[in-house]
């Protein structure tokens, strides 16, 4: 009997990864939802006997979906697949009725193991195996076709590689050198970067949660490819009348370079100190020590999350103090002079029940885009 399977995730890349990780011999009819609202609608339409659910989504997140399923007693079996791997996240979704929790990026063997353990999927017997194999040989193509119907986005072009900026050769005549090739980022590629950031953000949030013994509220990462001079406008959401303090740390890999910026609202220092068991004194030296420790946790674990997904190794420079008790525009002013454009990934961490606000920015140089795009193309093939 064919199982109606619904994959609910706001990332096109993640939905494809999950679909490709399903058991090869599972007789399924796959549907896709971009967010919780679409997911609930699909379940009510009978498209979700089994639901594979993300947590971080716009409009209605995974927690709200689980609450709605419970409240309305909707007929579906839910397995959460998320980058938010905090122990408490696992406990919360289980309490809301999820069968199990699998961390992103999804592993095919792990997914099959979970499906088997709950009887959601059973391996076909030898009598029906050949028939099932024949029927399901077209499953990947069917999944791709269904996704094209459900999504309004254009499919990700995994073969297109954006040409890098390059220095033009010295002309032998008096003619002007040719203009540099402009690098752009499509919405499909932005989705890929956002999903990579989402998983890396979850790794860092999990480490922070364990160290502070709190629940870290994770946002949807904000990804832009912009002029560095426009960075202050892009960060207007974290600009406030309150002063901030910041740390900057450079990183480099083969063909990739950039800087990570950690910005903490000054009003957060006292609470952070209490959670980290510091004897807090309101002076710059104590606050700098706190800021350095926080930067080591978030920057290090986030870069590690990116490196694991893209199979690269980052070397990190020595952290530098951008400034203390200053306006955020002043903190990033020096960075705006280092290169022309940047791939900017903004992650705003907050702690449940504490007025702590901490922003992590990963800024990749425009020349890094060639290598990054090649890595992403390989990942989503």
Give the per-residue pLDDT at 89. Answer: 96
The superfamily (CATH) of domain 187-380 is CheC-like (3.40.1550.10)
Return the bridge partners of 344, or none.
224, 363
Q: Beta strand 357-365 with 341-351: parallel, antiparallel or unpaired?
A: antiparallel
Give the per-residue pLDDT at 278. Answer: 82
To the question of pTM greater than 0.85 for the whole model, the response is no
Helix (H) or strand (E) segment spanning residue 181: none
Give the per-residue pLDDT at 235. Answer: 66
Span between the terminal Cα atoms of the chain, in Å: 30
Residue ranges, CATH 3.40.1550.10, the chain? 187-380
Sign of the dihedral defined by the CA atoms of residues 199, 218, 33, 149, in that order: negative
Phi, psi of 19 (to 5 degrees): -60, -40
The DSSP symbol for 264 reads E
Give the per-residue pLDDT at 334. Answer: 58
Q: What would be the CATH architecture of the domain defined by 3-166?
A: 3-Layer(aba) Sandwich (3.40)
Give the per-residue pLDDT at 138. Answer: 40
Distance CA 93, CA 82 (A): 11
Would you say 295 and 204 are in contact if contact means Cβ atoms under 8 Å apart? no
Taking each helix axis from N to C end, the angle separating 187-212 and 87-95, rounded to the nearest 10 degrees, works out to 100
Distance CA 33, CA 179 (A): 43
Residue ranges, CATH 3.40.50.2300, the chain? 3-166
Q: What angle do CA 14, 17, 19 make, to 5 degrees?
A: 110
What is the residue-level pLDDT of the chain in tens, covering all 381 positions? 899 999 999 999 999 999 999 999 999 999 999 999 999 999 999 999 999 999 999 999 999 999 999 999 999 999 999 999 999 999 999 999 999 999 999 999 999 999 999 999 988 765 444 443 433 344 444 445 444 434 444 333 433 333 343 333 444 445 554 455 567 788 888 999 999 999 999 999 999 999 999 999 999 999 999 887 777 666 655 555 678 889 999 999 999 999 999 999 888 999 998 998 887 776 678 888 899 999 999 999 999 999 999 999 999 999 988 878 777 666 666 555 667 788 999 999 999 999 998 999 999 998 998 899 888 887 766
Would you say 365 and 339 are in contact if contact means Cβ atoms under 8 Å apart? yes
Give the per-residue pLDDT at 240. Answer: 58
Give the per-residue pLDDT at 158. Answer: 37
């Amino acid at each position: 009997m064919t199982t109606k399977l619904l994959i609910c995730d706001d990332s096109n890349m993640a939905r494809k990864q999950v679909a490709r990780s399903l058991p090869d011999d599972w007789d399924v009819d796959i549907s896709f939802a971009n967010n919780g609202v679409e997911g609930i609608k699909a379940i009510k339409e009978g498209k979700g006997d089994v639901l594979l659910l993300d947590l971080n989504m716009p409009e209605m997140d995974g927690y709200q979906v689980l609450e709605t399923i419970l409240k309305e007693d909707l007929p579906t079996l839910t397995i959460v697949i998320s980058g938010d791997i905090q122990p408490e996240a696992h406990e919360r979704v289980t309490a809301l009725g999820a069968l199990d929790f699998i961390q992103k990026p999804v592993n095919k063997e792990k997914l099959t193991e979970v499906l088997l353990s709950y009887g959601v999927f059973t391996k076909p017997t030898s009598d029906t195996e050949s028939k099932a194999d024949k029927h399901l040989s077209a499953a990947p193509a069917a999944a791709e076709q269904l996704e094209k119907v459900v999504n309004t986005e254009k499919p990700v072009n995994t073969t297109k590689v954006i040409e890098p900026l390059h220095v033009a050769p010295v002309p032998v005549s008096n003619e002007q050198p040719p203009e540099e090739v402009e690098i752009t980022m499509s919405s499909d590629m932005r989705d890929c970067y956002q999903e990579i950031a989402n998983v890396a953000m979850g790794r860092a949030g999990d480490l922070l949660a364990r160290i502070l013994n709190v629940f870290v509220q994770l946002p949807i990462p904000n990804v832009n490819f912009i002029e560095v001079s426009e960075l202050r406008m892009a960060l207007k959401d974290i600009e406030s009348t309150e002063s901030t303090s910041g740390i900057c740390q450079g990183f480099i890999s083969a063909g990739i370079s950039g800087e990570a910026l950690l910005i903490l609202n000054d009003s957060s220092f006292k609470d952070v100190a209490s959670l980290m068991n510091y004897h807090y004194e309101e002076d710059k030296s104590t606050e700098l020590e706190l800021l350095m420790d926080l930067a080591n946790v978030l920057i290090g674990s986030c870069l590690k999350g990116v490196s694991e997904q893209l199979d690269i190794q980052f070397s990190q420079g020595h952290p530098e103090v951008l400034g203390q008790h200053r306006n955020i525009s002043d903190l990033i002013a020096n960075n705006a002079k280092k290169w022309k454009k940047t791939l900017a990934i903004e992650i705003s961490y907050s702690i449940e029940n504490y007025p702590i606000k901490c922003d992590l920015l990963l800024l990749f140089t425009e020349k890094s885009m060639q290598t990054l795009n090649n890595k992403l193309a390989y990942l989503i093939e």
